[in-house]
With several copies, the nearest count.
Chain A
Amino acid sequence: MSIFIDNTTTLLVQGITGRDGSFHAKQMMEYGTTVVGGVTPGKGGQKFEETVPIFNTVAQAVAATGANTSVIYVPPPFAADAMMEAAAAGIKLIVCITEGVPVLDMTKVYPYVKEMGARLLGPNCPGLITPGQSKVGIIPGRICAPGPVGVVSRSGTLTYEIVNLLTKAGIGQSTCVGIGGDPINGTNFIDALAAFEADPQTTVVAMMGEIGGTDEQEAAEFVRTKMSKPVVGFIAGQTAPPGRRMGHAGAIISGSAGTAAEKIEAFEKAGMGIAKRPMDFVELVKARL
C-alpha cells in the first residue's frame, strides 16, 4: 500500500517538451512510472521519446489516454492555468512542480481544484514517490526504498537528505510526499498525515516542517487528537530572521507568528518525536518502528 500514487497511477506530463519537463519525464519513465501522455500546445500528434503521445490540450490527452494524474513543469506565469486545465479535464491528482507561482493565482486555483473534486500537490514542490511503484515529480528515485515510513515535507533537498539517511540505515518508505514551500498549497500536512494514518503499510511518519504559517501547529493538533501512529518531526529555520522570506515563499516569520519555536512546542505538546538535527531522524524513527 501507499498514499496518493501507486502502480495504477497513469500520468500526464504538462510541459513535456520543455527543458525540465523532458528531463524529468525521462527520469520518471526510467523509474517505472506509467507515463501515458504529454501536453505541449502545438505539438499535438508528435511523440516524446518515440513512445509517449503528445497532445495540444489536457482535455484531449485525458480523452485519449484516461490518465488519472498529471504533473506540471510549465513556467510560473502559465502554471495556474495548467493546474486549472488539469482539474477541468477530470484529472484527480495534480502535482505542480513549478516554483514562483504568484500567490494570488493560487487563491483562485485552490477553490477551483476543490470544486472539481481533484487533489492538488504543490506548487513549488518536489512531487511524491511510492518507492518501487511510481514516482511523480523530481525526487531522486535511487535514494528511496520501499518500507514502512511515511515521509511528508515542505522542502525538497532537505527531504532527500533525510530519506537518504533513512534508506542508508535500512529503513524504507511507504510514500514520500513533498507538499511544497509556498504559502498556499493544495495539500497540507494534515491531508498527508490523514492518508498515512489510513495506509496499512505506513507504521511511522517522518515530517519536515519549516518556519512560516501555522500548518505544522495544526498538524501537531491532528497528530495529538486523530492519529494512532507515531510521528517524528523537524522544523527548519530556527536561525531565520523575522520578516525575511527564506527562499520558499512560505518560509517567513510574520511579526511573531510562524517561528520554529512555536512549531516545536506544538510538536512537543502532541507527544511527537523531535529531531534536532536531520540525522536524528534515523534513531527516532527506528525506535518507533
Chain B
Amino acid sequence: MNLHEYQAKEILRRHGVPIPDGDIATTPDAAEALAVKYGVPVMVKAQVHVGGRGKAGGVKYCATPAAAKEKATAILGMDIKGLTVLKVLVTVAEDIGSEAYVGIIVDRATKKPVFMVSAAGGIDIEEVAATTPEKIKYHPVDPRYGLRTFEAMEMGFFLYEDVKQARAAAKIMQQLYSAFIESGCSLAEINPLVVTPTGTVVAVDGKMVIDDNELDRLPAIEALRDESSEEASEVEARKANLTFIKLDGNVGCVVNGAGLAMATMDLVKYYGGDPANFLDIGGSSNPEKVVNALRIITADKNVKAILFNIFGGITRTDDVANGIVTATKANPLTVPIVIRLTGTNEEVAMKILTENGFSASSDMDEAVQKAVALATGAAA
C-alpha cells in the first residue's frame, strides 16, 4: 500500500525526522490559510500516488498566501496520469543548499533491509543507478542488530564531509529505519534530504510503501488507506478478498493461483489476445468469490470474452462451477465465456456446467485459444 507524502512525513516526524511544517488542504481557501499559518514561502504539492507530479505541474512554489490559493486552485481537481488530485500539502519551502537521496528497501538478494544513499538527490534514484551507479552507496542492515550508529555514520560521511551534517544525516537514517520497521514498510525514502544554506539537514519529501502483509497487525497504518486514489474495481476486489489488477485488454481472466494467473495472461497474449486483468481467486473455492469475480470483470466494458482457468487442488472445481451458475443466473452474461476446469471434483463440476448450458474443457491451451478467438471476433 502506498502512503501519501503527507502521511509518510507525519510518521517520519513522529520518529524525530526534521520535516518542514505543513498540513493538508482540500480547498484553495484552506491552502491560503495554511500559507498564512506557517509563513511563506510555501510549496503546494499534489497528493497523488504517482511519480512525476512536478513535471505534471502538481508541485508549485508560492511566495505569498494569495499565490498559494491560486496554485491550489489550479492543482486541486487536476488529473495526473489518470488520478484526480483531491488534496494538496501546503508546506514551508526550505532554501536548498544541496540535495541527497536516502532510501531503504527490503532487498531480496541479501534478504535484509538495504539502505541506498546518494549525494545526487532530488531526482529519481533509478536514474542515478542507471547513469552514475558509483554515486550510490548500498548498505544492508542486519535486522537482528538494527541500524547501528557506526553504520549510519559511514553513510553520513558518504553524503557529507562536514561532521555535523554527517551526524545529522546519520541520526535521520536511524529514525528513518525505525519508521521503516515499525510501519511495516517495503520501501521508505527521503528524496531530497536537503542541507539548507545555514547547514541544517531536513527531509523535504518523504515516501513510504507498506507491505500489504503487515496491514492486519498495523490498524493505524491500514487506516491511512486512501481509497479515493485507487482504481475502484481494485478496491472492490480487495474487499471481496480477490487479488485483482486491472489492465487494458479484452479477455477477462479468472484463475486460481498467482503463477497460473500470470501464465494464463501470457498465453492469452501468445495467441494474439490481450488480458483485461490479473485475477487470482486464491486457494479457497467459496462460490461467493466467483460471483464477486464475475461482477467485477463484467463491469469492465472493454471485456469481450471471459476465460476461467481453474486447476483444482485445494480449490474445488464444483464450487467454481456453482459460482458461475449462480452469478450468471442473477446477472446474465452479455459476453461469451470459456471455462477450463480440471482437478478436484472435476466430474461433478462438468455435470453442473453442462446441466446449466455451459460447456467446459480440461485443456488450458485449447481454452485460451478459444477465448482469444471469441474476444477478437467480438472486437472486430
Contact = CB atoms under 8 A, between A and B. Distances in A.
* Contact present between A and B (CB < 8 A): yes
Interface of A: 20, 23, 41-42, 44, 56-60, 76-78, 81-82, 84-85, 88, 99-104, 106-108, 110-112, 126, 138-140, 143, 153-161, 164, 181, 183-184, 208, 210-215, 234, 236-241, 244-251, 255-256, 260, 276-279
B343 A140 contact: yes
A277 B280 contact: no
Q: Which of B108, B143, B144 has the most C-beta atoms of chain A within 10 angstroms of its own C-beta?
A: B108
A260 B270 CA distance: 14
Given A57-B150, A111-B144, A245-B212, A155 B266 contact: no
Q: Closest 6 CB pairs between A and B?
A: A155-B259, A247-B258, A42-B163, A157-B257, A85-B150, A158-B259
A208 B268 CA distance: 18
Contact of B269 (A183, A212, A238, A241): A238
Contact of A81 (B149, B217, B255, B259): B149
Nearest to B315: A157
Contacts of A84: 145, 148, 150
Contacts of A138: 313-314
A57 B154 contact: yes
Interface in B201-228: 211-214, 216-217
Interface in B161-217: 163-164, 166-167, 181, 184-186, 211-214, 216-217
Interface of B: 106, 108-109, 111-113, 126, 142-145, 148-151, 153-154, 157, 163-164, 166-167, 181, 184-186, 211-214, 216-217, 243, 245, 247, 255-263, 265-270, 275, 278, 280, 283, 311, 313-315, 342-344, 364-365
Q: Which of B151, B262, B280, B342 has the most C-beta atoms of chain A within 10 angstroms of its own C-beta?
A: B262
A102 B211 contact: yes
Contacts of B265: 237, 239-240
B211 A103 contact: yes
Given A237-B266, A239-B275, A247-B258, A157 B217 contact: no
Nearest to B125: A255
Contact of B259 (A41, A57, A154): A154
B245 A249 contact: no
A101 B212 CA distance: 10
Given A57-B153, A81-B149, A237-B265, 17 more contacts: A42-B166, A56-B166, A77-B216, A102-B213, A104-B184, A107-B106, A154-B259, A155-B263, A157-B257, A158-B259, A161-B364, A184-B108, A239-B265, A241-B247, A247-B243, A248-B259, A278-B267
